[in-house]
Amino acid sequence: MDISVVIPLYNEAESLPELFAWIERVMKEHNFSYEVIFINDGSTDNSWEVIEALKSKNPEVVHAVKFRRNYGKSPGLNCGFQRAKGDVVITMDADLQDSPDEIPELYRMITEDGYDLVSGWKKKRYDPLSKTIPTKLFNATARKFSGITNLHDFNCGLKAYKNIVIKNIEIYNDMHRYIPYLAKIAGFNKIGEKVVHHQARKYGTTKFGLNRFVNGYLDLITLWFTSKFGKKPMHFFGLWGSVMFFIGFIALVIVLGAKLISICTGDLRPLVTNSPYFYVSLTAMILGTQMFLAGFIGELISRDSPNRNKYKIETEL
């Protein structure tokens, strides 16, 4: 099979028939063998009924998974990736803001240019400034942390992958924003970008709020830390634990030295607890010890949870 199109969705019943018809037209024009995998992420409208109707008319092409409740985009993509069979996997949003007309060129860049992953770049966006300015700041930070300097839009839903890439990465929490970074960590370094057409939303309203930017930064820090120190947490905690313990030890030497000098001069009035260095030494040595313990515990505990990507699926077509 040439292409698998994975589409996570939440309350997009109005756009689904038009989106599928558009994908179908593009695939037939280029003689692609394909499948479309819809992941219904706990929609409360009649999205599932629309998907069932599409399935009945296109049983060999349409596949779908229905979550019992809303889990988020990352679980939806991860579930779709597990089921994708195409040599090239295309992801896109269901709101008609991503154009299926981009699929042939994305496919060519993977199969002919040899990219492991190609990310779309919505260079001209139809979003308000309240969304575009934070997006630019977020992408600049993501480029700095990830080292993938050629990407301008990490969070673009329109992406293409070699099948082997999506089978070797795991997407959880809200990590869909950092799929290129996850691919890089997994050893897939040939990551490209394509300017894609961004369309204004035709139906409904956006499902994302401003809190996604805050969560995005927190997820980026988590991903950076686990990629750097996830296998050897002692390299991080041990280093800073040593620094804190050393600072505490120096402060303790100052306190004891001052006390010895006062004893030698016959002045016994200054108390050790009157010196600020006493509290510096006490705090620093406690923090240093705790960080050492955190490092040892981190070495003993696996960071992978066996239930992290298990979701309650109600129905599957």
Cα 93 to chain centroid, rounded = 16
What number is the average pLDDT over the span 77-96? 93
Least confident of 58-72, 120-134, 151-165: 120-134
pLDDT tens across 201-222, in order? 666 565 555 555 566 666 667 6
Percent with pLDDT over 70 in the chain: 79
- Predicted confidence band at 285 (pLDDT cuts at 50, 70, 90)? confident
What number is the average pLDDT over the span 21-28? 96
What number is the average pLDDT over the span 119-135? 71
- Residue 36 has a CB neighbour count (10 Å cut-off) of 23
52 has a pLDDT exceeding 70: yes
What's the sign of the alpha-carbon dihedral 111, 113, 117, 123? negative
What number is the average pLDDT over the span 50-76? 93
Task: Look at residue 250 in the predicted model and tell me its pLDDT.
Answer: 87
299 has a pLDDT exceeding 80: no
What number is the average pLDDT over the span 100-118? 95
Q: Which of 13, 11, 93, 23 is nearest to 49 (CA)?
A: 13
262 has a pLDDT exceeding 60: yes
- Predicted confidence band at 83 (pLDDT cuts at 50, 70, 90)? very high
Task: Look at residue 150 in the predicted model and tell me its pLDDT.
Answer: 87
Q: Which of 188, 180, 163 is nearest to 81 (CA)?
A: 163
Query: What is the spatial distance between Cα 32 and Cα 217, in angstroms, rounded to a whole number?
Result: 38
Least confident of 29-43, 62-76, 108-122, 167-181: 167-181
Task: Look at residue 152 in the predicted model and tell me its pLDDT.
Answer: 87
253 has a pLDDT exceeding 70: yes
296 has a pLDDT exceeding 90: no
pLDDT tens across 174-183, in order? 788 888 988 9
* Whole-number average pLDDT of the chain: 82
Query: What is the spatial distance between Cα 161 and Cα 80, in angstroms, rounded to a whole number?
Result: 13
Q: Which residue has the higher pLDDT, 155 or 304?
A: 155
Radius of gyration of the chain (CA): 26
